Amino acid sequence: MRRLKRRHDDGAFETLVRRWDARVLAFLTKASGDREAAKDLRQEVFIRLYRYGATYNPEYSFPTWLFQIASNVLSTWQAKEARGLQRLWKFEEEAARIPLADPGPGPRELAALDELNGRIEAAMKQFTLKERQLLLLRLDLELSYPEIATIMGAPESTMKSRFYATVKRLRSKIQETEGADTVDRRCYQ
Amino acid sequence: MNPNDDRTTRWLACLLGDLDPGETARVEAEMRADPDAAEDFKQFFEDTSEWAKRPVADAPINMTELAARTRGPADLRIGRARFRRAWPWAAVAATALLVAALSQTSFSMQLGGATLAWGDPPESEAVTRLESEISALNESYAALAADNLRLYSGFEEFVFSLQQLEFQLQVATAELARNQERESHTRYADMERLLQFAQQTRAALPYGNDPAALQASYNGRP
């Protein structure tokens, strides 16, 4: 990162990309819930990394800075998606076809999903983008609360309490789907 | 498990290592007191962590495409930033050059192929004469160069014909050597035949091939 910051070193940039590519893609895919969009967003993250490499502050860890970029890219993407959706809603006949809220997969669909991973993924779709990011930053990247607070631009204590609340809600959602699945299976037996 | 239960928060904090050692020991004791619930929660935590850490399978990023997209606007911005930093100095340098130029009684400079000049220096006639002499010299030099080129072409032709002659000489020498060899073979064969003929002729004579008799036949002659 120091080589990239000092001389715009292409070799250093490539090393960074190779090292972080998979983790950035996994983060973006799980946070956005959209695999195809995540591939484009991953490019955008690394383009920003290259362009703004000179603004990197070594006081922060590199992952903090990198995932701050990723978080900003996700926010921009979400805003664009929302604007696109609003434009679509102007057409009434189109609006009728667009689901207003993600109902999530039903019990039968859930049974077909890859058991627990499927349940977690389905439950995660009901969370906001910020909440999904928060979970991934703590559980996947194992960043500290001060680092997460820097990335998300919120106080550390808020991040900590929001993280606990999100995990508890996730637990509750998964238990709900487990219950529903059990009932559904009993009906079809 | 009740989501509003504070126990969940404590257990989660314990599993994440967010608690100090004293607090951790207390929460661990609490978990041991309800092993089924603790095991259930640990399983949920492990499953969620595993989901979060699970990689997403995809080909590595296309570096060529990425490199192409990292060029362009960013480089332009860098260029603009450099221009913004450099233009005051460039303006100072240009002003200094202008002041220096105006302070001269006469001035002349080449600017984009055009001559920018003012003033009429006293030595302008001499300079014109010198320029015409230089021009004449240039013409002489050009003529000399053309002559040299012609001479060089002639020399090249001469060298080429010399090389051809040398080749022809080599061919002729080889042919001569072959002819000489053929001639010596023929002479040798002729000599052999002559010797055989002589021996046969002598055998037909009265004294035969006896050398002493032959000598004796000569001795008797005058």
pLDDT one-digit tens code per residue, B37-59: 899 888 888 888 888 888 887 77
B118: β partners? B107
Please report the number of interchain residue pairs, chain A to chain B, with beta-carbon separation below 8 angstroms: 82
The tens digit of pLDDT for each residue in A19-49 reads 899 999 999 999 988 888 898 899 899 888 8
Among A121-125, A148-152, B10-14, B87-91, the least confident range: B87-91
User: CA A79 to CA A87: how far, in whole Å?
Assistant: 12
User: CA A80 to CA A41: how far, in whole Å?
Assistant: 12
Contacts of B51 in chain A (CB under 8 A): 116-117, 120-121
B39 close contact with A: CB closer than 8 A:
no
Q: Please report, for residues A138, A164, B23, B42, B192, the alpha-carbon distance to residue B11 in angstroms, rounded to integers and kept in the order given.
A: 16, 10, 11, 9, 126
Select from A3, A1, A50 the least CA-distant residue to B74.
A50
H helices of A33-112, in order, are 35-51, 62-89, 92-95, 107-112
Q: Note whether A69 and B92 are within 8 A (CB).
A: no
User: CA A120 to CA A170: how far, in whole Å?
Assistant: 8
Give the closest of B3, B41, B60 to A169, CB-based.
B3
What is the total residue count of chain B?
Answer: 222
Measured between CA atoms, how close is B91 to chain A, in angstroms? Answer: 28
Model confidence, pTM: 0.53
More confidently predicted of B62 and B17:
B17
The number of CA neighbours under 13 Å toward the Cβ of A102 is 10
Measured between CA atoms, how close is B62 to chain A, in angstroms? Answer: 9
Contacts of B12 in chain A (CB under 8 A): 164, 167-168
B17 close contact with A: CB closer than 8 A:
no
B216, burial (CB in 10 Å: exposed 0-12, middle 13-18, buried 19+): exposed
Helices A35-51, A10-32: inter-axial angle, 10-degree rounding: 150
DSSP states of B11-26:
HHHHHHT-S-HHHHHH
Residue listed under structure tokens 């202008």: B98
B24 close contact with A: CB closer than 8 A:
no
**Least CA distance to B50: which residue of chain A?**
A140
Residue spans of beta strands (DSSP E) within chain B? 107-111, 114-118
Residue A80 has pLDDT above 80, yes or no: yes
B205: three-class secondary structure by DSSP: coil
Contacts of B70 in chain A (CB under 8 A): 13, 46-47, 50-51
Contacts of A47 in chain B (CB under 8 A): 66, 69-70
Select from B133, B155, B152 the least CA-distant residue to B144.
B152
Residue listed under structure tokens 């979400």: A78
Residue A100 has pLDDT above 70, yes or no: no
* 8 Å CB contact of B1 and A175: yes
